[in-house]
Amino acid sequence: MADARAQTRTPVDLAPVTWWFMVRTMVGARIRAQAGFRSSFAADLASQLLLAATEFVEIYVLLHNAPVFGGMNLAQATVVYGLACVAFGVADMLFGQLDSMHSFIREGRLETLLVRPTSLLLQLVTADVQLRRLGRAAFGLAAYLFALSICGVEWTPDKIALAALAPVGGILIFGALFLASGSLHFWVLDGQQAGNAFVYGGRYVSSVPAGALMTPVRVFFTFVVPATLVAFVPSAVLVDAPLPEFTTAGMAWLGIPVGLALWAVVLLVWRAGIRRYTGAGG
């Protein structure tokens, strides 16, 4: 108790609240709240793990029937799956809250966030940091590292750098997709599923050997929604699997730059959405 009180600001201490203090307080409160309900948290974490494992069963079933699928064997496909899983798990924990933008708008809760003197995005992101989503990321990380270790990768400095940087690019790309899907709600309130098509469709594509996709689908999910850049292209380069047409080895490094560029564009759309938003009154 004494500790908690020491961290709380007294009325005397009127220096402006720093950005960092605010984030720490809000995220800290969320984390303490979730850790408080131990059994519920454990069940949530377990279901996230199981979810990740179930998705892997699909890939296992496909490769059970076609041992070389989209140019990859089971171990190589597991690298793709694991990498996509880490990137999506972390992005979902940080930005998954944007999925419920429509209920914020519909229930008029967005107004209460808008009148506060800090960024809307920051409030939405810190409002519901879901630690349980780490379950998926942990499963993915384990799968990624294990599969890399059995693929017989000839490690060179640039391959080590690629293996370490690829998850960062993936987190950036998925984060931008979540924000894009959330921005959509400023224009179409009932359109949640359309936004899902790109976020969750992108996640689906990112977790499979994309060489197996029909060319138009693959081109769309590479050059419009850059899902194959999250895991498939970097993994293919890491494990020396063949790349399909329109894809080059150099594109393995595009995750971070494309992610940043996407963030820049989507942030502009997000700002335009907030400016356009008029509220429902009440």
Indicate the burial class of 102 (C-beta count within 10 angstroms; 0-12, 13-18, 19 or more).
Answer: middle
List the structure tokens of 171. Answer: 């987190």
Give bridge partners of residue 72 from the DSSP assignment: 69
Determine which residue in the list 113, 118, 127, 191 makes contact with another protein, applying CB under 8 A: 191
Closest separation between CB of residue 24 and another protein, Å?
A: 27
Residue closer to another protein by CB (options 148, 235) is 235
Listed residue (147, 123, 161, 120) closest to 207, CA to CA:
147
Q: Using an 8 Å Cβ cutoff, are 166 and 237 in contact?
A: no
128 binds another protein (CB under 8 A): no
Q: How many CB atoms lie within 10 A of CB 167?
A: 25
Determine which residue in the list 161, 217, 268, 280 makes contact with another protein, applying CB under 8 A: 217
Residue closer to another protein by CB (options 26, 51) is 51
Closest separation between CB of residue 275 and another protein, Å?
A: 22
Q: Residue count at the site for another protein (CB under 8 A)?
A: 40
Site for another protein in 235-274 (CB under 8 A): none
CA distance 175 to 93: 10
> How many whole angstroms from its chain centre is CA 95?
7
Determine which residue in the list 146, 204, 263, 277 makes contact with another protein, applying CB under 8 A: 204
Residues in CB range of 163: below 8 A, 6 or more apart: 148, 234, 238
Draw the binding track, 39-68, toward another protein (x: CB under 8 A; -: no contact): -x--xx-xx--xx--xx-xx--xx-xxx-x
What is the sign, positive or negative, of the torsion defined by CA atoms of 162, 163, 168, 170?
Answer: positive
Closest separation between CB of residue 84 and another protein, Å?
A: 13
Q: Which range in 88-96, 103-111, 202-210, 270-278 contacts another protein by CB under 8 A?
A: 202-210
214 binds another protein (CB under 8 A): yes
Residue closer to another protein by CB (options 14, 66) is 66
Q: How many CB atoms lie within 10 A of CB 173?
A: 29
Q: Which residues bind another protein (CB under 8 A)?
A: 40, 43-44, 46-47, 50-51, 54-55, 57-58, 61-62, 64-66, 68-70, 188-198, 200-201, 204-205, 208, 212-214, 216-217
